[in-house]
């Protein structure tokens, strides 16, 4: 089963477009995990178990692990997902972008070491920097297109031949690079009009959509703009709002994460078919 098929199956099985981001910030961990050598793995494992029933994908952000020399714990997280929840895709959020020989090594890192089902990549250096990932025909290659951060407009909204650069990226990926049906795009929830324009360009291609939750993207506008005719084709990511959902009071972080993930999945579903 390739990445696109695996994502579609998980979406249907869990009735979900929710992607749970794994951005472990040890400063925000609960007291019982503070100071433990394996705290990052244990925190992520608890979040995974609490949210797997309502997730269409998990998205570990590699920087949160690498900054603390915790790549071994990231590998443990990915191994745990493969063993315990093999039906749920792993999208490694690495945003890699480099020349072909180096890209080959980054592809091995993502697909061999971490056994990710998909990886995020940067298209700035062109096709030869993306091609090594495409050699793994069963894996997904999620290309940055219209990102959710305010500074994304500095380049992505530059006019080229009468249309913004991000639309050229969407057209290029969908028409030329997606030879094996394995590509997707990153398009932020903070720009629903641009999200709708990308959907019109790429058809049913999967979109990874960050920006709801802590970043403030509107769920109704996001789903309405980005869904396919079948009410699918999106991985709407929420990270901090789920990971650190524990309010002041007695509810533990696992119960809080489970509750917020389910509430977010259900909020998304209200607009999938309307």
Examine the pLDDT at 251 and tell me if it is beyond 70: no
Pairing mode, if any, of strands 57-60 and 18-22? parallel
CB atoms within 10 A of CB 9: 15
Examine the pLDDT at 248 and tell me if it is beyond 60: no
In a domain, 274, yes or no: no
CA angle centred on 226, ends 4 and 14, rounded to 5°: 50
In a domain, 159, yes or no: yes
pLDDT bucket at 191, cuts 50 / 70 / 90: confident
Q: Which of 168, 148, 182 is nearest to 7 (CA)?
A: 182
Which of 32-41, 61-70, 210-219, 253-262 has the lowest average pLDDT? 210-219
Q: Which of 216, 222, 217, 220 is nearest to 234 (CA)?
A: 222
Q: Is the pTM above the cut of 0.85? A: yes
Q: If DSSP codes are grouped into helix, strand and coil, which group holds residue 82?
A: helix
Write down the pLDDT at residue 214. 61
* 155-187 pLDDT tens trace: 999 999 999 999 999 999 999 999 999 999 999
Pairing mode, if any, of strands 91-96 and 163-164? unpaired
In a domain, 69, yes or no: yes
The CATH number given to whatever domain includes residue 262 is 3.20.20.70
Give the mean pLDDT of 198-204: 98
Q: Which of 11, 73, 44, 33 is nearest to 257 (CA)?
A: 44
In a domain, 73, yes or no: yes
In a domain, 124, yes or no: yes
Cα 259 to Cα 29, 125, 241, 247, 267, distances in angstroms = 18, 41, 11, 12, 12
In a domain, 26, yes or no: yes
Write down the pLDDT at residue 215. 64
Examine the pLDDT at 125 and tell me if it is beyond 90: yes
Give the mean pLDDT of 34-54: 96
Write down the pLDDT at residue 149. 87
| Overall number of domains in the chain | 1
- Number of helices and strands in the chain (H, E): 12, 10
Interacting residues of 115 by C-beta distance below 8 A, sequence separation 6+: 78, 79, 82, 90
Write down the pLDDT at residue 233. 96
**In the chain, % of residues over pLDDT 90:** 88
Token digits of residue 144 = 């940055």
Residues known to be catalytic: 95
In a domain, 115, yes or no: yes
Q: Give residue 116's domain range.
A: 3-269
* 102-117 pLDDT tens trace: 999 999 999 999 999 9
In a domain, 16, yes or no: yes
Examine the pLDDT at 213 and tell me if it is beyond 70: no
Beta strands (DSSP E) in the chain are: 18-22, 57-60, 91-96, 118-121, 140-146, 159-160, 163-164, 183-187, 207-209, 234-238
């Amino acid at each position: 089963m390739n990445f696109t098929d695996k994502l579609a199956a998980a979406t249907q099985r869990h009735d979900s477009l929710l992607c749970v981001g794994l951005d472990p910030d040890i400063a925000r961990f609960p007291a019982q995990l503070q100071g433990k050598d394996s705290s990052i793995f244990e925190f992520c494992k608890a979040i995974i178990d609490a949210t797997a029933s309502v997730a269409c994908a998990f998205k570990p952000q590699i920087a949160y692990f690498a900054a603390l020399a915790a790549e071994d714990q990231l590998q443990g997280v990915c191994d745990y997902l493969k063993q315990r929840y093999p039906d749920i895709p792993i999208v490694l959020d690495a945003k890699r972008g480099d020349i072909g020989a180096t890209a080959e090594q980054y592809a091995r890192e993502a697909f061999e070491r971490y056994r990710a089902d998909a990886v995020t990549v940067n298209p700035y250096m062109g096709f030869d920097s993306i091609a090594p990932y495409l050699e793994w025909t069963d894996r997904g290659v999620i290309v940055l297109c219209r990102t959710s951060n305010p500074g994304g407009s500095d380049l992505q909204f530059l006019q080229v031949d009468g249309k913004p650069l991000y639309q050229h990226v969407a057209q290029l990926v969908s028409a030329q690079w997606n030879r094996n049906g394995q590509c997707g795009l990153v398009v932020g929830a903070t720009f629903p009009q641009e999200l709708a324009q990308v959907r019109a360009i790429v058809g049913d291609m999967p979109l990874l959509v960050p920006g709801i939750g802590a970043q403030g993207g509107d769920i109704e506008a996001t789903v309405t703009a980005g869904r396919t005719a079948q009410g699918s084709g999106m991985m709407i990511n929420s990270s901090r709002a789920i990971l650190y959902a524990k309010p002041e009071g007695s509810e533990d972080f696992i119960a809080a994460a489970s509750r917020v993930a389910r509430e977010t999945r259900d909020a998304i579903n209200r607009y999938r078919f309307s």
